[in-house]
Chains A and B, each alone.
Chain A
């Protein structure tokens, strides 16, 4: 079965870079996602990467994918206090047509001033 693992907490100082890591088990995953959950709100898509890519950059966000090791990371440059949230990694296998994502447990990012 599918399994997505993340560490539960990450604490960084404002202005530093944050790196949130995720490992997954389904080698047939087509898309991998990062969602952000701010306090008191639902999840919102931050970014995604297609499985045939190894890197994607979007402003302060960099997603790295190592398919061989089934490892996904999200780097946030110049982390701000507003980046404090829970970040969820998710994998989705599109090959069977179901597109049901499997979410990790979420990493709570705490940004200190």
Chain B
């Protein structure tokens, strides 16, 4: 079974709709992250959380919100989706010390029409 899972894997929605992307992990890591990937722009950090009570904005948090419901779960919400939020979204986890390898989920492909 995958250590970091994301649901849904693909989603098509319309402008103005609220949408939630979910991430779950079984690695027992405290740190979780949400990134978006756009062609030619690489990975950009949206939000990150160092533990259940900690939420931090990343490079591109405008238009997004997150919820850390438990150590294992970190959700990303788009309150009112717009077409330029069409992208591939990745959740990741890490331990937070030493060689702090990030473990990525398989991604959610979101299309906003």
B99–A48 touching, CB < 8 Å: yes
A48 nearest CB neighbor, chain B only: B99
A53 an interface residue at 8 Å Cβ cutoff?
A: no
Task: Kindly identify, within residues 89 to 107 of chain A, every residue whose CB is under 8 Å from any CB belonging to chain B.
Answer: 92, 94, 99-101, 103-106
Contact B90 A92 (CB under 8 A): no
* Size bin of chain A's contact surface: 20 to 34
CB contact list, B85-104 vs A, under 8 A: 90, 92, 94, 96-97, 99-102, 104
- Whether A105 and B40, one on each chain, are in contact in the complex, defined by CB atoms closer than 8 angstroms, is yes
Determine the residue in chain B with the shortest Cβ distance to A101: B102
Cα-based distance from A42 to B97 in the complex (angstroms):
22
Interface members, chain A 7-56 (any B CB < 8 Å): 8, 31, 33, 35, 40-45, 48, 50
Q: What is the interface size of chain B, counting residues whose CB is below 8 A from a CB of the partner?
A: 21
Residues of B with C-beta under 8 A to A33: 101
Identity of the chain A residue whose Cβ is nearest the Cβ of B43 in the assembled complex: A103
Q: Is the CB of B106 within 8 A of A41?
A: yes
Decide if the interface of chain A is mainly helix, strand, loop or mixed.
Answer: strand
Choose one: A8, A43, A48, A104; the contact of B90 (CB below 8 Å). A43
Nearest CB of chain B from residue A40's CB, rounded to whole Å: 8
B48 neighbours in A (Cβ, 8 Å): 100
A99 touches B94 (CB 8 A): yes
Interface residues of chain B, those whose CB is within 8 Å of chain A, are 4, 31, 40-43, 45, 48, 90, 92, 94, 96-97, 99-102, 104-107
Task: Give 25 A-B contacts (CB < 8 Å), ordered by A residue.
Answer: A31-B100, A40-B106, A40-B107, A41-B106, A42-B4, A42-B90, A42-B92, A42-B104, A42-B107, A43-B43, A43-B90, A43-B92, A48-B99, A48-B101, A50-B99, A88-B42, A99-B97, A100-B48, A101-B100, A101-B102, A103-B42, A104-B42, A105-B41, A105-B42, A106-B43
